[in-house]
Amino acid sequence: MADNDNSSASEKLTFLLIGAGIGATLALLFAPKSGRELRGDIADYTKRGLDAAGEQARQIGTRAGEVYGTASQRVADAYGTAREKVSQGADAVSEVAARQREQIQAAIEAGKQAYREEKRKVGDLSRAAVEGDEA
């Protein structure tokens, strides 16, 4: 019974049509008619069954196309949203990197300046020491 709950509507429809076809054929075979009438009735029922199955197949195809369209639109929307978020994240990372780059350049420049000043101080002290020795 649990297997029947999991079967799809198309499977149930297929089994229904097969059962109806078999039942109609058996009814015609056991009905009191001539062979010609019976063959005509079987041909009519067969044509009706094929027409009904074709119509169901068209309806299922239409529904499948609609579901596919909806799904593909949702995927496109999700892709667009994800792409936008990634772009925003990349922009934020670029801004942070630019700020850090500026800070690092300022620190390097301050280090160079401090080095120059210390070098100048050492040079002044060396000159003062040399001048003091000469005196």
Task: Please list the alpha-helical segments (H only) found in 8-34.
Answer: 9-30
Q: In this predicted model, what pLDDT tens digit does every residue of 74-94 receive, in sequence order?
A: 999 998 998 999 889 888 888
Q: Calculate the dihedral angle through the C-alpha atoms of 18, 23, 25, 27, rounding to the nearest 10 degrees.
A: -170
Q: In this predicted model, what pLDDT tens digit does every residue of 25-56 receive, in sequence order?
A: 787 777 777 778 878 877 888 898 889 888 98
Taking CA atoms, 120 is separated from 123, 127, 131, in Å, by: 5, 10, 16
**Where along the chain do its domains lie?**
7-98
Least trusted range by pLDDT, from 20-24, 120-124, 130-134: 130-134
pTM to 2 decimal places: 0.41
Q: Are 8 and 56 in contact (CB under 8 A)?
A: no
pLDDT band at residue 135, thresholds of 50, 70 and 90? Answer: low
Higher pLDDT residue, 128 or 102?
102
